[in-house]
Amino acid sequence: MKKNIFLTFCFVLLIPVFSATASDQGFSLPSKKAFKTQNLTLLSPSWTTALKQGAPAKRYYPETNNPTLKDGIVYIGTHAGLFYAVNLSGRVLWEHENPEGIASTASVSNSSVFFTDLGGHLICLNKIDGTQKWKRSLNTEALDKPLLMDNKIYLVSGEQTIFALSQTDGQTVWKKQLNTHIKKLTIRGQAEIVAEQAALYVGLADGLLYKLNSINGNTLWSKNLNVPLSTFKDIDASVVLSGDSIYVGGYFGKFYRLNKSNGNIVWSTDITTGVSALVLDALVVVSDTNGAVHGLEKTTGRPLWFTELGTSVVSTPTLFQDMIFVTVFDKNAYLLDAASGHQVQKLVVSKGSLNKPVVLDNKVLVYTNDAKLVLLTEK
């Protein structure tokens, strides 16, 4: 198992600070403008449901799952080995007890729920009542969200094997062994596989990004995104596809826009990140590991704004109406103005969160570091 050390995201804070300058393009960070920090009450907690969290040890904190919302039901597992279905009133509909902790985001089909556990298993549950349909050993740990497509399950195991499995029984359709060069000490996490038509895109802990054929796993192209002498090489954030481009960053200190067809670099900027970006029509929003959120011009990567929220790691940015919603590790959540990055609201969300918020209409669902589901509702 390559990722045999669990590093909390507090350790990530030891990574040197990288400024948000598009050095390859000759741009410099715009001067910081003074502004009045707003704290409007736009979102407030509607309910909180506490789930059973993992043991109070570094290996089990923080909880590192993104909630999955499907047909009005939230599906989530905890490091304590419990998997839950919770409705949007905060009521637990069913729970499934698993022998191993759960650190991967679930995927949900019309009839089944799929997730992996810390023991290296892929589990399939009945969506209605949580009873187990089947369980498959992958031999090595898998932390990414299973991708469901064409009655198959695609996932990465051990940071070097790509599996295509049957949704019916978990049997192998094909598997692809990649020649990776992964350090023994890495940031714990795994980018999810992203699919478009017959192509799969995935980044690994050695800083390589792959485009694979979803039919047979053949490599269409690979791109080394590493920065020389970087301490960590991990791509733990899933790529974002938009038009003819790919947007992706890593712990090596760079964020890229790449050409989708061949992986060539369109632009890059100096940002260290472990989460996916938010890509809008003309704006790319990227959270970094040093407590800041960056607004970049989509076409050129030029910095438009830069907002410091503290020193904690910031979650994946999410669009809430015309604002940006993020959470941070220590305890806070923020609404930011998308045009300027200025703070609109700051609120406390339990003990903080590193997980991706889920936006639904006028609500935001947050899964916290201490295994609480919190629903925030617009006032």
User: For the chain, which residues score pLDDT lower than 50?
Assistant: 1-35
Say what the pLDDT of residue 60 is: 67
Q: How far apart are CA 17 and CA 354, in angstroms?
A: 19
CA distances from 297 to 44, 212, 265, 326 (A): 31, 29, 16, 19
What pLDDT does residue 194 have? 95
DSSP 309-369: --SS-B---EEETTEEEEEBSSSEEEEEETTT--EEEEEE-TT---SPPEEETTEEEEE-T
Closest CA to 320 of 289, 285, 349: 285
Residue 26 pLDDT? 39
Q: What is the largest CA-CA distance in the chain?
A: 58
At 330 the pLDDT is 85
What pLDDT, in 10s, does the model give residues 8-22?
A: 444 343 333 333 334
DSSP string, 79-133: TTSEEEEEETTS-EEEEEE-SS---S--EE-SSEEEEE-TTSEEEEEETTT--EE
E strand map for 180-254: 194-196, 199-203, 208-213, 219-224, 240-242, 245-249
Contact present, 105 and 116 (Cβ < 8 Å): no
Rounded Cα distance between 31 and 312, Å, is 23
pLDDT at res. 135 = 97
The answer to whether the beta carbons of residues 46 and 344 sit under 8 Å apart is no
DSSP code for 285: E
Dihedral sign for Cα atoms in the order 27, 29, 31, 35: positive
Closest of 1, 5, 7, 40 to residue 354, by C-alpha: 7
What pLDDT is recorded for position 337?
Answer: 96
Quick one: which H or E segment has residue 11? helix 9-12
CATH code of domain 9-378 = 2.130.10.10
List b or e across 109-123, with b for residues whose CB sees 16 or more CB atoms inside 10 angstroms: eeebbbbbbbbbbbb
For residue 10, the model assigns a pLDDT of 43
Q: Residue 3 has what pLDDT?
A: 41
CA–CA–CA angle 352, 354, 355 (5° rounding): 115
Contact 359, 278 (CB under 8 A): no
The residue extents of the domains of the chain are 9-378
